[in-house]
Every structure is written in structure tokens, then in C-alpha cells.
């Protein structure tokens, strides 16, 4: 279990990675410096992704808790680790150095640094840092925080209008079909990156249906925050969303509530 002190160290690492991102985000020659490349799945890759990756990779090995410092790391920017090796991992770091790269390129502020500790297929702790707004979500030992204050998911069992979080950059026909079958009025709350799960965790939304593609590093840290805040993250079969259980790093569709 991650201690309070280790969580503070993890938050500091996320801030340092966020600082590296913001140096590029705030640069007068931003358009030239982002140097967008296409990843294997055609999603964008920028200098900011790589800069944040290098910070996190190095800083995690300096954690005071040597057991945590020595854990394997799986990052979006270093994901070419064989399944034969990964399936031996019981506990490891799962990292997205810059989640919401499309939002970063649009310069709308809705992008995050995601660092999660995975134990036995579940997110045991995590930090989600939005450097453009200096907003820190974190979770460990069954408690979730926003900028140091404890947060809880909404507990109103039967709201008159559902607040439903939707992706700002990834609309899907499946999502619309899901919304059409809801049995009460709903209000859409558009948001980018892993901040969507965090809105449910802090009680600003009731529901986040993700009926489109995501990878495990996209969700793990915010999943930890949501769980610690009392929310559920379930596949469409009603089972808990899990990590590192198969060769593919793609998540199934899921619902956060």
C-alpha cells in the first residue's frame, strides 16, 4: 500500500513532469516546438509527451521507498514490453506522461499527467495532474483528493437530471445509442483526457460512459481516484475494469458511475 509520504512524492513527480510540458505549452514558438508525429495508432506524439516521459521514468527510480523505486514501469512512450514479461508483473507503475495530447495541441488546458500504481490488476494508487490549471487529483489507501482536499463521488441515488461526462475529442455512435436509452433527462459535460473520470470522482458528474477506444495507461490513474472516491468503474458486463490481464493494452468499453 502506498503511504501518505510516497503519495506526496508521486504528486511532486507529476508536477515536475507538468512543468516540462508547460515549458513547451507556453513557448512563443509553440507551433514549431510541438513537432507532432503519428504514433502506431495514428494518435499524436509531441516533444512534450517525450519530455514528461523522461522526467517520470527517472524520478520514479528515486522514490524514498526502494520497493516502489525498483518496480517495473509501463509508459505509453515505452510500451513495447513483451506480454511474456508483463504477465509476470504483480505490481508495477502504469504511466501516461501526457494524456489528452489532442487537447494539448488545441491548447484548451484539458490534458493531464497520469501515474498509477497497479497491484494484482487493480489501480491501488494514482495521481492525475492537470498542469495548465495546476489541479492535482490523487488517491491512496482508500482516500481520494483534489488539491489536498478529500473528494467523494455523488451519492444522490435518483437525480432529476443526470450529468453525463463525454469526450471532447472522441464522439462515437455507440455513445449516442447509450444516451438514447437512458430513462431520464441528461445534461452533457464535455471534457478531455482522464479528467472525465475525475469529474465523477469529485461529484461534478454522475456518469461517464466510455464507449470508444482507450488504452490502459489512459485510465489507470484516474481509475484509482474514482475508486477511492467511492465510484465504480465497470465493463459493460458489470465486471471491474482490470489491468495487465491480456496481451493487448486496449481497454474494453466501460462505465464510471
Asked if the model's pLDDT at residue 1 lies above 90, the reply is: no
Asked if the model's pLDDT at residue 211 lies above 80, the reply is: yes
Q: How many helices (H) and strands (E) does the chain have?
A: 9, 14
pLDDT band of 100, cuts 50, 70, 90: very high
Q: Write the pLDDT tens digit of every residue in 30-89.
A: 876 665 565 555 456 788 999 999 999 999 999 999 999 999 999 998 888 999 999 999
Give pTM, 2 decimals. 0.94
Q: Write the pLDDT tens digit of every residue in 9-20.
A: 999 999 999 999
Among residues of the chain, what percentage have pLDDT more than 70? 93
pLDDT band of 150, cuts 50, 70, 90: very high
Asked if the model's pLDDT at residue 142 lies above 70, the reply is: yes
Tell me what pLDDT residue 39 has. 54
Collect all residues with Cβ–Cβ distance below 8 Å to 146 and sequence separation of at least 6.
Answer: 135, 136, 137, 198, 202
Mean pLDDT score, 221-229: 98
The chain-wide mean pLDDT, for the chain, equals 92
Vertex 253: Cα angle to 252 and 256 (nearest 5): 120
Q: Smallest Cα–Cα separation from 215: which of 236, 194, 230, 184?
A: 194
Amino acid at each position: 500500500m502506498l503511504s501518505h509520504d510516497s503519495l506526496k512524492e508521486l504528486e511532486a513527480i507529476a508536477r515536475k513532469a507538468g512543468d516540462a510540458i508547460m515549458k513547451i505549452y507556453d513557448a512563443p514558438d509553440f507551433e514549431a516546438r510541438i513537432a507532432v508525429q503519428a504514433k502506431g495508432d495514428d494518435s499524436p506524439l509531441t516533444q512534450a509527451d517525450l519530455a514528461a516521459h523522461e522526467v517520470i521514468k527517472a524520478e520514479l527510480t528515486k522514490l524514498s521507498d526502494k520497493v516502489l523505486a525498483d518496480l517495473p514501469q509501463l509508459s505509453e512512450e515505452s510500451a513495447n514490453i513483451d506480454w511474456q514479461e508483463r504477465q509476470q508483473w504483480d505490481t508495477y507503475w502504469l504511466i501516461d506522461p501526457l494524456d489528452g495530447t489532442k487537447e494539448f495541441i488545441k491548447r484548451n488546458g484539458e490534458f493531464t499527467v497520469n501515474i498509477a500504481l497497479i497491484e494484482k490488476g487493480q489501480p491501488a494508487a494514482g495521481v492525475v495532474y492537470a498542469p495548465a490549471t495546476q489541479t492535482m487529483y490523487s488517491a491512496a489507501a482508500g482516500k481520494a483528493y483534489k488539491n489536498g482536499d478529500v473528494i467523494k463521488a455523488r451519492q444522490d441515488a435518483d437525480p432529476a437530471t443526470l450529468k453525463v461526462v463525454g469526450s471532447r475529442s472522441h464522439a462515437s455512435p455507440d455513445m449516442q445509442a447509450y444516451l438514447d436509452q437512458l430513462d431520464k433527462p441528461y445534461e452533457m459535460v464535455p471534457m478531455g483526457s482522464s479528467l472525465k473520470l475525475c469529474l465523477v470522482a469529485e461529484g461534478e458528474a454522475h456518469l461517464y460512459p466510455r464507449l470508444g477506444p482507450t488504452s490502459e495507461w489512459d485510465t489507470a490513474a484516474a481509475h484509482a481516484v474514482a475508486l477511492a472516491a467511492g465510484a465504480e468503474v465497470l465493463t459493460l458486463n458489470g465486471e471491474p475494469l482490470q489491468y495487465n490481464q491480456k496481451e493487448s493494452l486496449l481497454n474494453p468499453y466501460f462505465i464510471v458511475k
